[in-house]
Amino acid sequence: DTAVSQTPKYLVTQMGNDKSIKCEQNLGHDTMYWYKQDSKKFLKIMFSYNNKELIINETVPNRFSPKSPDKAHLNLHINSLELGDSAVYFCASSQDGSSYNSPLHFGNGTRLTVT
Amino acid sequence: AQKITQTQPGMFVQEKEAVTLDCTYDTSDQSYGLFWYKQPSSGEMIFLIYQGSYDEQNATEGRYSLNFQKARKSANLVISASQLGDSAMYFCAMLPFYNQGGKLIFGQGTELSVKP
């Protein structure tokens, strides 16, 4: 019973293409996130959504567009992919995104490679 | 500024021994949460343990315990009886009180290798 599931696990594509990563959580959490892990393993938030409403957009290029059709799903669409977009993208969720004692639960990550 | 510092890029430990992974944090908030995550070579991020700033007792979860020293602003992870499966990258992270919607602040990570 996967709590936070994201697909695909690996994504290899060419520059200029458009791609999407899907994420679903079955934890009943109110808040969902996208985090990016760079080649040095540093993790940084990209977006957070609370009940389908955008809370954080961390100065991400507008080629990245999150979509939350309902509070259990948060997809990430990336237009015009660039070499620098190569990274691991993690979806996550938490019970209450406004609370400091609400752990984030991460999906297994999507390794995006842009060639 | 809110910051997490992990000063040990890599650590080695013998199987069955205990190991401490260091984490210091910087925040002016009185209320905050501290977390540890494990990332094995397979890539997933696994939540291990949580400590709240007002918790008087150190958090424990099985073989994991958090050595919380508030005055020193440290939240070290202790893994007892290390197993080969503990080999992974470990991240310390913080959610400040005004966390702006779940913006976890991560440290640089410590890569732990358990030797048989």
Q: Give the pLDDT of residue A57.
A: 87
For the cut 80, the answer to whether the pLDDT of residue B22 exceeds it is yes
Joined tokens for residue B106? 């991560």
CB contact under 8 A, A90 and B45: yes
Q: Give the pLDDT of residue B98.
A: 72
Between A41, A44, A55, which is nearest B89 by CB? A41
d(CA B70, CA B52): 10
Average pLDDT for chain B: 94
d(CA A46, CA A65): 10
Between A42, A56, A88, which is nearest B101 by CB? A56
d(CA B88, CA B13): 12
Q: Give the pLDDT of residue A1.
A: 65
Q: Which residue of B has its CA nearest to A9?
A: B43
* Per-residue model confidence as pLDDT tens digits over B37-80: 999 999 999 999 999 999 989 999 999 999 999 999 999 999 99
